[in-house]
Structure 1
Amino acid sequence: MEKASYFILSQQLTDKREVDYSKYVRKIDPRIVKDFLRSVVQNFCIKNGRVESVRFKNGIEHTFLYRGDE
């Protein structure tokens, strides 16, 4: 069942152009989300309660910029 849920999660995220993640995450088992993130994300960098960057296991790092922080 867990592998099936993981597969469905992956398919849903790749098939849609826009996803309401907050709504979607509430519909599925939290363990599935946790396992999925662990399989994809290497590191989250959080400062003052804000996500500064996310490093993925494939080596790509996404850095977030917030308005008003200049």
Structure 2
Amino acid sequence: MIILILFILLIVLFLKGMSMLRKGLISLTFEKIEKRLLFFTDHPVKAFLVSIVFTGVLQSSSAFMV
């Protein structure tokens, strides 16, 4: 009986740790993405050129996958 309780406790602790790790990684990633988006889109012409390159990369990778 004690083994079952310990097992359940360890599973709950593991899941809580995974949840905390997920929240931390999301906040770190969001900050980096936000900084890069602001850097690449601070001027309309720069944003237009970046969007052309980004779209080209996505379209070529989609064509490669099909």
- TM, length-normalised to structure 2: 0.31
Higher helix share: 2
Higher strand share: 1
- TM, length-normalised to structure 1: 0.30
